[in-house]
Every structure is written in C-alpha cells, then in structure tokens.
Structure 1
Amino acid sequence: MTLDRLAPAIFVLLWSTGWVVAKYAGLFADPLTFLVLRYAIAVTLFLIFCLATGAQWPRTRGEAGHAVISGMFLHGLYLASVWWAIGQGVPAALSGIIAGLQPLMTAAVAPALIGERLSGQQRLGLSIGFLGIAIAVLPKILAIDTGATPILPVIVNVLGMAAATYGTIHQKRFLQAVDIRSIATLQYVGALIVTIPLALMLEDLHVTWSFELFAALAWSVLALSMGAIALLLYLIRRGQVSRAASLIYLVPPLAAVQAMILFGETLTTPMIIGTVVAVTGVYLTNRTPGPIAP
C-alpha cells in the first residue's frame, strides 16, 4: 500500500491520542507549560532532522514568516486552547467532539480564501459528517452547567478549532512549494511565540518531573508533533484542504473510546450513532468527486 492510502488512517490514529495525552499530562504539569516543553523539544529535533537530511529552507523572509504564522495558529493558539480547556475541566471526549467543527469551518471559508471548489458529493459528505458530530455532541452540550463543565472553557475550545482552520488554510495558500521539513520546524517556532507568553500569564509553570511526564513528552513530540503533523502537512499538500480536514471527523469517536478506557469517561449511545454517521460523511467527502458544482 502506498503512503497516500496509509497516511489518512495513521494520521487519525495518532491525532486522536492528543486529547487523552492532554488529560494525562495535566496530572504532572500545567498544560501550557507542558506544551512549551513539547514545542521546544520538537523544534530541536526537527532542526537536527532538517540539517541531517539536507532540507531546503524558505527562500525568502516572506515564506519563513508564513510558516511561523501558520504555526502560531495551527499549533500555538489551537493546542493552547484545547489543552487549557481540558485543564479547566472540559472532558477529553467532549473536547475531541468539538474538533468536528473544523471540517465545516474549513469548507465554509476555503472557497473564499483559496478558491477551492467542492463537488456536490463533497458538500453532502461534509454536511453528513457534521450531522454525525451534532448527534454525538448535543446531549453533552445540553448537560453543560457551572458545576460540571463550565461554559467559558468550551467556548475557548471552539475558538481553538477556528484557529486550526485558519492555520490549515494559511498553510495551503502560502506554503505549497516549501519543504515540509523546514515548514514544520518554523511552525513550532511560531507555536512557542504564542505559548510561552500564555504560560507565563496564566500558569505557575508547575512541573512534576517523573517517568510518566517524560513518557507523555516522548509520545507528544515523536508521535504527535513530528509524526502526525508531518502526515497532516503531507495530506494538505497532496489533496484538497477540505478533504484533508474531513479526516478530523474520525478523531472524536476514537478520542472518546480512549477516554472511556483510560479515564472512565462515558461513551453514550448518541456518540456511537454519531460516529457511524460521521464516518459515512468522511467516506463521501474523500471519494473521487464527480463534476464540480458551479
């Protein structure tokens, strides 16, 4: 099987673990402080990788700047929002489900920003996928109250999805011809530019140095910051950004199952039904499209 066929499945499997890692890492470090450590290690390892493999760096300051900006949104604001929200009590399963907003956001703005036109089949697939996410998330949203899941962190979580959407489109619009390896390195520089000030303002920079912390860091850096993000950048470059974003629909159910197994979070009937509907939407979105709708 080619990388084109394997990459989507591997990306979804890796990316879905991010919500569980966020909750687990919060036991040993403040969330934003943990992200600073994660990004610093990722920058170092990616830089070594670039030097060892002869990666091509951006030819102009403009290209380098676009890579940093995309990283500020795609990693910095996005993950800072998600990890802070989980640290404030948003369940990992609910946070993962909120991620299902991203494909619809992407499809809504991609035509205006990058001229991407969707077929009728793709529009139907995105709509069905969003319906599946709505079925899964609505009961949890209705159950939100100040004593269980506070509304502000949920709003921040949603804003994080908007940041990820813009970062993805910025990447597609301005960085199609730049080496993926150097892009990833500069993106984590952008993530640090955002996350360090937030950590200093909002946290005590608490870290409990332990084997568990290093294990969480190792997985976060190697599997997520390097493996999953490299696959995401590859998918964005190889296909339509809306089709790549539609894979996010598959992340919530996987994250919910992992949260149930590891943390005892409830896997409800609506979440199961919503998952089946969302998978159908992803299938339609990623099939070879028919004629492009006018």
Structure 2
Amino acid sequence: MSGDKNAWLRAMPWVFVLIWSTGFIVARYGMPHAPPMSFLAVRYALSILCFLPWIVLAGVKWPSDHRQALHLAVTGVLMHAGYLGGVWAAVKAGMGSGLSSLIVGIQPVLTAIWLTSVGGHHVSRRQWLGLLLGFAGLVLVVSRKFGAGGPGDSANWLNLSFAVMALFAITVGTLYQKRFVQPCDVRTANTVQLAAALVVTLPLALLEAETMHWNAELVGAMAWSVLGLTLGGSSLLYMLIQRGAAASVTSLMYLVPPCTALIAWVLFAEPITATTIAGTALTAFGVSLVVRPSR
C-alpha cells in the first residue's frame, strides 16, 4: 500500500501536466459554440454540483476558520475566474492553443523572480540572463503570429492582453495559496474556490450577447472540463501546491506548452515551425536558468 502511494505521488506531477495541457485544447473545441464566460459559469456550477454530494457522502468537514475560507475564495477568483477567464477569452479572440499555453508558461519566471525578491536575495546575473532569454524566446514565437491569417493562429493586442491577464492571475494565485491557505480537504477547498469564481464570472456571462449552442462537441468539452480539468487537474494543482515549494510546482507549467502544441498540431493542424521550436527552446532554457537553484 505504501509503495502504491509513493508511486502515485511520483506520478502526480506528470498526470497533472498531461491533464492541464488539454485545457487549451478543450477551449478550442468549446469556443466555436459558446461564449467564454457563459461556458465557464456553467462549468463552475456543474463542478460544484459534482463536489457537493461527494463531500456529503464522505463526511468531509468544511473549513471552520472564516479567514481560511476567505483566502480560498481569493485563490478561486485568481486561479479559476482570472486564469481560466483570460485563457478562454484569448482563445475566443483568435489566439491559438499553443501560443496561449506558451504565454502562461512564463509563470515559472515570474514566480522565481518574486520568490527571490521577497526572500531578501538579489536576482543573480544568471537569473536575469534567463529572464531575458525567456522573454526573447516568447517574442520570437509571438512575432510570427502577428498578421497571421488562419483561425486560431493569430495574435493581436486584445487576445495578448487576455493571455497576460491569465498569466498574472495564475502566478499571483499560486503564490497567494502557498502563503496563506492552510492544508485542508481538496474537495471542500475546491468547492469554495469554484463558488467564488462563479460569483465573479456569472455577471460577466449575463452580459455576453452570444448564446450557447449545445451539440456533441460542446457537451464533450463541458464534460471533460468538469470531470477531467476541474475535478482532476485543479485538485491535483491544489495538492501539488500544498505539498511542494511554489517554484518547483510552477516549473511544471513550462512542460505544458510543448505538450499542448503537440496535441494542437495533431487535432487542429496548428503549425509547428522552426521558429516556434526555436522560440520554445530558448524560453525553456531561460526558465531553467531562473529556477535552477544556486550551488
């Protein structure tokens, strides 16, 4: 039993990366048939309905400390409403799955720089070099996207703004959770987070002029979003943050863009060019310089 538990703990980061990578793909499947905020509001509501009977049947206790509940609500607004809302709005505005995941993949750089700053340590020359190389790699990839014509393969200031908002939301949310949220049951924690995200997202959904057009693709995207991404991926992210250092956990995020790009190439024929590969490799190298511990 102990061996099985240890094997699961070792596999948990890799399972998380695989599940998390599909989030950008689901956005591509769902967005032609639903506005982003409406889709997310329904996703949050259905996820809460899945968690509640699970909590009741398992007899799980809710957070007794009101301050902890508030901290969970803040992380829910940042890591669900802010992060997912930004990603889905970016994809809806024409950004490709690979590019959106690449921008969010800069998160390890921001996290490492922040942790270095608040820890009282100066940013080393190696880390500054890594930050500049990572930014150069991102510019290399984004520059090819400007002016591109195909659907799901263009970048503009609107969808870039949404993607950058998602980047800052997931970065701040991860750091906030690691700093303020005490360990508690992942089911009740996720439910509080989702409820807070729903409160923020629902009014935005009501303002959207487009309506949801239910079909097989939208149903499939919604089902995987609820069962795979929220109940599976978000729960794994919560547990990983509670168990590990913030920099170590966020470094997993940079494994997501290559995985997403490969899946998007298979499913949507999104191009993987030499420029994309070079930019991704340069950014990956830059991130490795930032997050690598000093000797």
> With structure 1 as the length reference, what TM-score do the two structures score?
0.86
Correspondence for 2:228 among 219, 223, 230: 223
Instruction: Confirm or deny: 8 A CA contact 1:246 1:285 kept in the other structure.
Output: no
- What is the aligned-residue identity percentage? 39
Q: Which residue of 2 aligns with 1:60?
A: 65
Distance, in Å, in 2 between the alignment partners of 1:150 and 1:171 is 32
CA 1:146 to 1:176, structure 2 compared with 1: closer, same or farther past 3 Å? same
Equivalent position to 1:167, from 157, 167, 173: 173
Report the more deviating stretch, 172-181 or 159-168. 172-181
Q: Which residue of 2 aligns with 1:15?
A: 20
Q: What is aligned with 1:144?
A: 146
Aligned CA distance change for structure 1 residues 43 and 137 (closer, same or farther; 3 Å): farther
**Contact 1:12–1:250 (CA under 8 A) maintained in structure 2:** yes
- For residues 191 and 226 of structure 2, what CA distance do their matches in structure 1 show? 12
Does the 8 A contact of 1:95 with 1:157 survive in 2? yes
Hey, what's the Cα distance between the residues in 1 that align with 2:211 and 2:242?
Answer: 38
Q: Is 231-240 or 145-154 further displaced after alignment?
A: 145-154
For 1:116 and 1:181, locate their aligned partners in 2 and report how far apart those are by CA, in whole Å.
35
Cα distance between partner residues in 2 of 1:129 and 1:54: 47
- Residue aligning to 1:135: 137
After TM superposition, list the pairs within 5 Å mapping 1:54-203 onto structure 2.
Answer: 54-111=59-116, 115=119, 131=133, 134-135=136-137, 138-141=140-143, 143-145=145-147, 148-201=154-207, 203=208
Residues 48, 125 of structure 1: CA spacing in aligned structure 2 closer, same or farther, 3 A cutoff?
Answer: farther
Whole-angstrom CA distance in 1 between matches of 2:115 and 2:266: 36
For 2:234 and 2:64, the matched residues in 1 are separated by 22
Does the 8 Å CA contact 1:22/1:83 hold for their aligned counterparts? Answer: yes
1:102-141 Cα deviation digits (max 9, x unpaired): 111112223456x597998xx9689759846743652333
State whether residues 129 and 249 of structure 1, in contact with CA within 8 Å, keep that contact through their aligned partners in structure 2.
Answer: no
Alpha-carbon distance in structure 1 between the residues aligned to 2:216 and 2:38: 17
| Aligned residues: CA RMSD | 2.9
| Farther off after superposition, 93-102 or 1-10 | 1-10
Number of aligned residues: 286
Counterparts in 2 of 1:211 and 1:146: CA distance versus 1, 3 Å = closer
Amino acid at match of 2:193: Q
Match of 2:274 in 1: 269
Distance 1:145 1:270, change over 3 A: closer
| Unaligned ranges ≥5, structure 1 | none
| Offset at residue 178 of structure 1 (A) | 2.4
Gaps of 5+ in 2: 1-5
User: 2:216 & 2:184 partners in 1: Cα distance?
Assistant: 37
Query: Which residue in the other structure is 2:47 paired with?
Result: 42
TM-score (ref. length: structure 2): 0.85
Shift of residue 39 of structure 1?
A: 0.7
